[in-house]
Structure 1
Amino acid sequence: MSPTRRSLLRLGGLAVTGFFAGCVSNDADPNTTEPTSTDGGMPGSNDTTDNGAGGTRPAGTGGPGLFLHATDTQPALPLKLAVSVTHDVATEDAPPQLKVTLTNTSDEQLTVGEGRAIFFQYRMDDDNQLMLLPAADRYDAKPGCWRLNEPIAVTEEYRTRTVDPGVSISEKVDLYGAPEGEGCLPVGNFHFTTSYNVVPTESMETAAQESAEWGFTVTLE
């Protein structure tokens, strides 16, 4: 774990104080157009075995299977929000994984924040059983089990992302068990939610900010 994560703020949900007060833009990462469809689950047998927690999992994997159960109603924002499953089982090599996609449905460039929370990075479910973390990194967790061994901390600055008209931007997040829990990945339904703050980029100083929440429910079984 990097010192940045260890040294500052333990996160159940990202701490933000204001949209543009001291914000840090993430514009160095260019917008990339990506499809919103599922990348496809990991290949494997349809045979299942008991996972030890009252559910089942595909044979030869290290944990329960992940399914997208439901998504919340789209908020009244100039964004289309979507989530898909990219790895549907926990294995010794990787935890389950989701991809979150934002599409700008307006005719002007938008600035959206907070830049990590909008992709559910560092978000916990409503019952604090699971945590979603950026897929680019690996964290202190036993392979195949994927429960975090210690809390995760992140920097407190407010980041933003810009999205051009008609463009989609996506990030992948890995699913870990929260460190306070017992066993490995729990089974059941788990709901995640986050906030979106949106304003037209060219009129950031004068335009009214639009804000709303959105989320989804996953099933582990």
Structure 2
Amino acid sequence: MHTDPSDRPTRRALLRAGGLAGIALLAGCTTGASTPGAGGEGPTPTPSPTPTPTTDGGLPGDDGDDAAGGTRPAGTGGPGVSLVSVDGPDAPLAADVTLLEPVATAEAPPTLRVTLTNTGDSAVRVGEGRAARFQYVHDESGRLVLLPADGEWDAVPDCWRLRHGIAVTEEYRTFELAPGAAATADLALYASAETDACLPVGEHTFSTRYQVGPCDSAPGAGAVGEWGFTVLLE
């Protein structure tokens, strides 16, 4: 179990990252930017059914087929990941997505790095701090999820399907960016517990909402936007 010490039982709820209703930016401002993986604390696994093995001992859908809809290409190793497109945020934020480990192996899932940079001439505050950098965000189909790469997640080895759903503390985190500063997050790509397959091949789009405003703005101030990217697993 991965537990956030700042969590309160009465405030815990499943948060599909990206929701901004009823939450606001915090006033005030410091300097600096987050380090890779920062702001990723807070998940607690919740049980979900474990798939029944197939007659040949494998997992459902794990047939080695590299055709569309399969779970992994033929041969050793898992799917390789390539970046198809990035639909970046509006100014003053600029985004970059970099593949760190583009191929799933028996030891680790694919990993990528998301970077947000303040291209403006004044400091800004960005929220929600985790969702804006795609921590705990599912793809549009719900079959894949991005989790902090430095976390320990209960997943089927060499398949990288989570054994349990992930609960995230219901709080609104922010981070500040000075002019020219960047905040990054290293993310591991997992198949969600809601699917009965391993990492599915094909194109998958991730999108998230964010809020950005001046560091000294009143609580609730700031513009809401959306950005995302598409990857191909093959």
Q: Report the TM-score, using the length of structure 2 for normalisation.
A: 0.76
Q: Which runs of 5+ in 1 are unaligned?
A: 35-49
* Counterpart in the other structure of 1:67: 82
Corresponding position of 1:130: 144
SS at match of 2:189: strand
1:146 match: secondary structure: coil
Separation of aligned partners in 1, 2:122 and 2:166: 36
Residue 11 (structure 1) aligned with residue 9 (structure 2)? no
Structure 2 gaps of 5+ residues are 37-62
Q: Equivalent residue for 1:31? A: 33
Alignment match of 2:210 (pick from 177, 180, 196)? 196
Q: 1:165 to 1:138 in 2, by over 3 A?
A: same
Amino acid paired to 1:211: V
1:144-163 superposed matches below 5 A: 144-163=158-177
CA contact (8 A) 1:81 1:100 kept: yes
Residues 102 and 111, structure 2, Cα contact 8 Å, conserved in 1 = yes
Q: AA paired with 1:218?
A: V
Q: Which amino acid aligns with 1:60?
A: T
Count of aligned pairs: 199
Secondary structure of 1:158 counterpart = coil
SS in 2 for 1:107: coil
Q: Write out aligned runs for 1:59-208 (5 A).
A: 59-61=75-77, 63-72=78-87, 74-202=88-216, 204-205=217-218, 208=221
Give the C-alpha shift of residue 52 in structure 1: 2.7
Aligned-residue Cα RMSD (Å) equals 2.8
CA drift of 1:77 comes to 2.4
Is 1:219 paired with 2:232?
Answer: yes
| Whole-Å separation in 1 of the counterparts to 2:233 and 2:219 | 45
**Equivalent-residue separation in structure 2 for 1:24 and 1:96 (angstroms):** 37
Greater displacement, 50-59 / 127-136: 50-59
For 2:205 and 2:139, locate their aligned partners in 1 and report how far apart those are by CA, in whole Å: 5
2:223 alignment counterpart:
210
Contact 1:103 1:166 in 2 (8 A): yes
Identity %: 42
- Distance in 1 (CA, whole Å) between partners of 2:128 and 2:27 is 10
After superposition, the Cα gap between the structure-2 partners of 1:199 and 1:158, relative to the gap in structure 1 and judged at 3 Å, is same
Counterpart amino acid of 2:183?
I
What is the TM-score normalised by the length of structure 1? 0.80
Q: Residue 65 of structure 2 corresponds to which residue in structure 1? A: 52
Say whether the 8 Å CA contact 2:29–2:125 is kept in structure 1.
no
**8 Å CA contact 2:139, 2:207 repeated in 1:** yes
In the alignment, which residue of structure 2 is the partner of 1:2?
2
